Structure 1
Amino acid sequence: MLPIRRTLPLALLAALAAPAAQAEVPIDVIGGSEITFEGLLQADANWFNSDFANLNGDPQDGRDADFEMRRAELVLKGKGPGNFEWVVGYDAKADKWLDTNVKYKIGGNGNHYLQFGQFKQPNSLEELSSTKNNDFVAKSMITNTWGIARRVGIGYGYGDANWGVNAAYFDRELKHGLAAGQGYGVRGTWAPINEAGKILHLGLSYVSYKPELSTLGGANLDDTARWRARPGADLAAARLVDTGNLVDADRNTTTGLEAFWVGGPVKLQGEYMRTRTSRGAGRPDFTGSGAYVTAVWNITGETWGYKAGVPTTPLPNEPATGMWQLGLRYDTIDLDDGNLDTSGATPVVTGVLGGQMDTWTVGANMYWRSNFKFALNYVKVDSSRYISAQKRIVEDNPSIVEFRAQFYW
């Protein structure tokens, strides 16, 4: 049996030779529920030009590259009976549940609903957007660090096509040993301009939850938080900025500001997040922050839509030649909340010095027909962090080339 990282590229090549599939493959109508099937396969390759830290996942193999199946998502959806909708999703690569919930549309209105189960929480524009339509291979550092993804809980939403308010109470993920910690979140969005080819979106979100750090052993550490980020590359083994374990943590709170603008084939998007971890036992609180700004141009002229407070990506105008995009992103995160005194023989750290990192990403995407996407990114990193073993601030400025092949239906 071939390793999973080899079988996915072979599956993708086989899929290329098959006729174009349709999104949401219809299965059947059972008990008044119209059932459809969706899927997403992603294969990634990263080539690292490491600087201080070795970014290769396996330092012993002598390579400067990693190749991996990133996602293998299988999703069943149902509409009905009545005003109910349901979804059951599973990622075979990550061995975890995706959206698995039931939604009741109040009055039959999709913008007014109650939701029960596991779903994405109301914060982070980028996290709430569809994974298959990410502008870049890796999400921004603040999204990966502070965005609350899927948790089990209860949610409520109300609004219309131009505005919305969403609130949720949540706990852990369905699978034990992953993200955990009871909390709540709220997000409000407003699109003062929302017409074909012209959109302006503004949003504000806030989440507050109990710190509970997941561990590789399948357990969770109560009252512990840790913030760290990879250098704009999902397959990188090292996190170049890292607070370490923040013990005696009482509460994590994150405030997010978001906006995007669409003018024909151009989209500008940005988010800012500020996170505070309050701590007891006389330990100082920690505050970190970060932001990203992106610009994407559809060379082939397509524009974006707008639904439920997020941008929607169209199909190519010309399926045979595809939709081509060029993108640029500036991404920054600051995990320093302390001071370094080097006046004595031994440096003295007060507070937390998790480091700072900036990245620039240049990317190109091709959406081909209805079911394929190919992405190529170049990432340049500028980071610095105090490393106690070195007794100094270490500059680490690698660069990475990323490629993704994607098949979805």
Structure 2
Amino acid sequence: MKLSRSTLSLALLAALVAPAAHAEVALDVIGGSEVSFEGLVQADFYNFDTDGIDYGADSATDLDGEDYMQELRRAELVLKGKGPGNIEWVLGYDAKDDKFLDANVKYKFGNNANHFFQIGQFKQPGATMEELSSTKNNDFVSKSSITNSLGTPRRVGAQYNYGDNNWALTASYFGRELTRNREHGSGYALRGYWAPINETGNILHFGASYIDKDTDADGIRLRARPMADMVPTRFVDTGSSLTSAASLNNRTDRASTIGVEGLWVHGPFKLQGEYMSIDVKRTDGLDDFSGNGYYISGLWNLSGETWGYKAGVPTTPLPDDPTKGLWQLGLRYDTIDLTDGAVVGGEMDSITAGVNWYWRSNFKFMLNYAMVKQEKGVLNDDPNVIEARVQFYW
């Protein structure tokens, strides 16, 4: 759904004058379960200094010559329940993308938040640490290229997690995505992490993950947007080649991904990085494919707050002074390589600088500038992007 400038302005005005709310609005106690309601609404604006591609188009085939786009990014509605006993459940839906989010039931052993069994749809442990973190606290407007291109996010399955406050081992078996005509192919995922230092304002974390999934012989298409999550056109794309030998989008068997991650928090500073490598087995007699990518980012809370730590991911606090808010400066380097042998998917490098402002308990404003360089064979395209986000959550 496209939003006009006036619609975005009215949405921003409404957010600014709305009364402050609290997270997890309590609804009722039903069948021994304490039911609460959460929501997240995001609107994004992109302006492209384009090189040769119309990234502001409504679709890859409907080119309009515009160098900007504005659109509702997310409209997430989530019901949560605690109880009876050690049972927790969640049911989430994104009205913007018309898909189910987390929809699962969890049983905690001994009321330990890090020892549980879960069944339903949930984020897979083979996703990146960035993906496993809360969406409302993304450090940058666009997630990293490996998160968007190589990770496997929500699927229906079963998961067992065993650990404590500073370590855990997780294993899951999954199938398709709950929403029809979305991601499919069964597989399994593993993740382990350890935080040898885990105290207020001082965190050191290491983790690793592995995922293996069936591509159902339908092929797999790996591609990356130019650090703007909603654009329809991808320059870096393994499925855009004209010949079957040069495309992954046919006759593949399985895909496996290895990931490693690191996190360091010291007072108001956070340093975070992740690396992923994917191997695709082919059944057409051609060579297997390998691709990889990584990012490293740094954030500084100008207003002095520090991060928390939960379930192997950093957590962003509320502002110490709600009237002034929490101010952040961020810088990220990101790279992905999807070229291997006959498959020329392309390479992309980017540097993103950003400022975030969390105001009171429910509002967030983001402004990013991304410098992107893309190469594919003898072709190249180097857009620069200004990105802005308005967010309201409860």
- CA offset at residue 12 of structure 1? 4.0
Identity of paired residues, percent? 60
Amino acid paired to 1:396:
D
Pairing partner for 1:378 from 365, 369, 381: 369
Deviations, residues 46-100 of structure 1 (Å, cap 9, x unaligned): 0011102221123644421000000000000000001100000000000000000
- CA offset at residue 11 of structure 1? 3.7
Pairing partner for 1:321 from 324, 329, 332: 324
Q: Which residue of 1 aligns with 2:142?
A: 138
- CA distance change for structure 1 residues 332 and 278 in 2, over 3 Å: closer, same or farther? same
Q: Which residue of 2 aligns with 1:205?
A: 209
Amino acid paired to 1:405:
V
Q: Which residue of 1 aligns with 2:198?
A: 194
Q: Where does structure 2 lack aligned partners over 5 or more consecutive residues? A: 240-246
Report the Cα distance in structure 1 between the residues aligned to 2:383 and 2:71, rounded to whole angstroms: 20
Amino acid paired to 1:100:
A
Q: Which residue of 1 aligns with 2:25?
A: 25
Q: Where does structure 1 lack aligned partners over 5 or more consecutive residues? A: 213-221, 339-350, 387-392
Pairing partner for 1:353 from 323, 344, 364: 344
Matches within 5 A, 1:143-292: 143-212=147-216, 222-244=217-239, 245-246=247-248, 247-292=250-295
Contact 1:22-1:371 at 8 Å conserved across structures: yes
Contact 2:54-2:65 at 8 Å conserved across structures: no
1:364 maps to 2:355: yes
- CA offset at residue 184 of structure 1? 0.3
User: Residue 224 of structure 1 aligns to a residue in which SS?
Assistant: coil
Deviations, residues 205-240 of structure 1 (Å, cap 9, x unaligned): 00000115xxxxxxxxx4311110001111323212
Contact 1:102-1:115 at 8 Å conserved across structures: yes
Pairing partner for 2:86 from 61, 72, 83: 83
Matches within 5 A, 1:84-123: 84-123=87-126
Report the Cα distance in structure 1 between the residues aligned to 2:345 and 2:23, rounded to whole angstroms: 43
Contact 1:46-1:235 at 8 Å conserved across structures: no
Contact 2:57-2:66 at 8 Å conserved across structures: no
- CA offset at residue 383 of structure 1? 1.1
Contact 1:191-1:200 at 8 Å conserved across structures: yes
Q: Which residue of 1 aligns with 2:52?
A: 52
Amino acid paired to 1:51:
D
Report the Cα distance in structure 2 between the residues aligned to 1:368 and 1:116, rounded to whole angstroms: 35
Q: Which residue of 1 aligns with 2:389?
A: 404
Contact 2:330-2:355 at 8 Å conserved across structures: yes
Report the Cα distance in structure 2 between the residues aligned to 1:252 and 1:399, rounded to whole angstroms: 32
Report the Cα distance in structure 1 between the residues aligned to 2:198 and 2:175, rounded to whole angstroms: 34
Report the Cα distance in structure 1 between the residues aligned to 2:288 and 2:368, rounded to whole angstroms: 37
Amino acid paired to 2:326:
M
Contact 1:40-1:72 at 8 Å conserved across structures: yes
- CA distance change for structure 1 residues 159 and 8 in 2, over 3 Å: closer, same or farther? farther
- CA offset at residue 377 of structure 1? 0.3
Question: How many residues align structurally?
Answer: 381
- CA offset at residue 140 of structure 1? 0.3
Deviations, residues 24-43 of structure 1 (Å, cap 9, x unaligned): 00001111100000000000
Q: Which residue of 2 aligns with 1:71?
A: 74
1:125 maps to 2:120: no
User: Residue 115 of structure 1 aligns to a residue in which SS?
Assistant: strand
